[in-house]
Amino acid sequence: MLKRVFDFTVALGALLLLWPVLLLLTIAVACFLGWPVFFAQVRPGLNGRPFKMMKFRTMTGARDQHGLLLPDDVRLTRFGRFLRASSLDELPELWNVLKGEMSLVGPRPLLMEYLPLYSPEQARRHLAKPGITGWAQINGRNAISWEDKFRLDVWYVNHWSFWLDLKILCLTVKKVLVRDGISQVGHVTAEKFTGSHSNE
């Protein structure tokens, strides 16, 4: 209950405080990347239940002659890279927090297609609401392996406390400012998860 009250209060306050920034970003995304300005995708939430996560789009909709989307590294513009590096593309997720679909802190919501690929231990990451930031994000973000990321997610689930959430939020500010761990070497963000190679 404390976590939900904190999430709701902070998300509502942030949306009220940041609405001019959100308006400017909406206009900028429309000008530089086109419509729609939001990227909405179904992701697994608490206990794997699907919800629609909202972000600012960071890629163009450029397609090849067959109508297929071009690779991510081609569609990711300089402005899109700035949005990702600054984490400004994540701001619309405050609406998901306000609705109770996400928390400020928790394991990041990944793709629905990953659900059957998790080991039983890794699947425990869904025992907590997904978050805008999390323990894995301040301990490597996209620069660490999937196994390490999931291990950190499960550690958070096992050790959650209100004070841990506050610590993660404070350290997230530092991570965003130094722009650390934004992507893996050779990838726009992180390579696709194809299943665990450990014996978990």
Q: At 43, give phi and psi (nearest 5°).
A: -130, 160
Please check whether residue 195 lies inside any domain of the structure. no
Q: How far apart are CA 63 and CA 182, in angstroms?
A: 25
Q: How far apart are CA 167 and CA 162, in angstroms?
A: 9
Please check whether residue 196 lies inside any domain of the structure. no
Rounded CA Rg of the chain: 17
Please check whether residue 8 lies inside any domain of the structure. yes
Range of the domain at 25: 2-178
Please check whether residue 160 lies inside any domain of the structure. yes
Question: How many other β-carbons are positioned within 10 Å of the β-carbon of residue 144?
Answer: 16
User: Could you say which DSSP state residue 186 is in?
Assistant: T
pLDDT digits (tens, 9 = 90+) for 11-39: 999 999 999 999 999 999 999 988 899 99
pLDDT for the residue 178: 72
Read off the pTM: 0.85
Please check whether residue 200 lies inside any domain of the structure. no
Angle at 170 between CA 161 and CA 180, to 5 degrees: 115
**What is 119-157 written as a DSSP string?**
-TTGGGGGGS--EEE-TTGGGTGGGS-HHHHHHHHHHHH
pLDDT for the residue 200: 43
pLDDT digits (tens, 9 = 90+) for 71-122: 777 788 888 899 988 889 999 999 999 999 999 999 999 999 999 999 999 9
Please check whether residue 185 lies inside any domain of the structure. no
* Cβ atoms of 79 and 32 closer than 8 Å: yes
Please check whether residue 199 lies inside any domain of the structure. no
Q: How confident is the model at residue 125 (pLDDT cuts 50, 70, 90)?
A: very high
Please check whether residue 120 lies inside any domain of the structure. yes
Token pair of 143 as six digits? 């620069």
pLDDT digits (tens, 9 = 90+) for 166-198: 999 999 988 887 765 555 455 455 678 888 754
- Cross-strand bridge partners of residue 38: 56
What's the domain count of the chain?
Answer: 1
* β 131-133/50-56 pair status: unpaired
pLDDT for the residue 199: 40
